[in-house]
Amino acid sequence: MRINPTPQGLEIPWQDIETVLLDMDGTLLDLHFDWHFWMEYVPQMYAKQNHIALEEANKIIRAKIHSQQGTLNWYCLDYWTEQLDLPITELKHELKHMIQAHPEVITFLQRLRTLGKDVVMVTNAHRDSLAIKLEMTEIGNYFDEMISSHDFGMPKENEALWQEIENKFGYNPTTTLLIDDNLQALQSASDYGIRYQLAAVHVSPKMEKIDPKGFPSFENFNEIMP
């Protein structure tokens, strides 16, 4: 993690970075959509379908989600459609108007392209979820590749994923930066040998900032603009 804080912000060696790996939800996009969907909307629909109280539905949904944390199932719309007997992708479309990018994200992505960096999305989001996010934002216009961990059958929390991605797309870990709000993903990338990590801690204006646990971190993309 050779990114050092200075009184002016973060000292990022952009001249040494060839590839920028970017997470989507919470990093580029406001996480409130996902939080509202899973913590409020899905329990409401589950309670309605199963004729139970919302409080009971909340307990059931939270327990089920907690049991899969850190696994690919946690992010898999097909898994939750089967487990909850709800049309998860269809329900996401009903709330897609809530999807929005963080401030300065497009400017940041444009800047990376201007500098000739290889810009790659690596998300744990299911492909159906990714499609909805790309439909509602402009972020998809700025990536050389967009990778869902579902393509490889393992989440970013698994160190082996970074090897699989390197095998397929040929990035150089020693000249690569990962920007993510998922600390386990940042750690697995670091363990694999990806040289630079940055934690995006301001996942939503409506949610608390995350504790970066020692990783270099930023709140607004203006702070790390190359």
Q: Are 197 and 181 contacting, i.e. CB atoms less than 8 angstroms apart? A: no
Instruction: Tell me whether residue 16 is one of the annotated catalytic residues.
Output: yes
> Which pair of tokens denotes residue 225?
């603009």
- Active-site hit among 16, 85, 151, 211: 16
- Spatial CA neighbour of 137 closest among 109, 179, 117: 109
Q: What are the helix (H) ranges across 14-126?
A: 32-36, 42-50, 54-67, 77-84, 88-94, 105-114
Distance of alpha carbon 220 from alpha carbon 80, whole angstroms = 32
Q: Are 199 and 180 contacting, i.e. CB atoms less than 8 angstroms apart? A: yes
Q: Counting beta carbons within 10 angstroms of the beta carbon of residue 176, is it exposed (0 to 12), middle (13 to 18) or buried (19 or more)?
A: buried
* Cβ contacts of 64-73, under 8 Å, gap ≥ 24: 65/38, 70/155, 70/157, 70/184, 71/155, 72/124, 72/149, 72/150, 72/153, 72/154, 72/155
Instruction: Give 7's contacts (C-beta < 8 A, 6+ positions apart).
Output: none
Q: Are 177 and 20 contacting, i.e. CB atoms less than 8 angstroms apart? A: yes
Residues labelled as active-site residues: 16
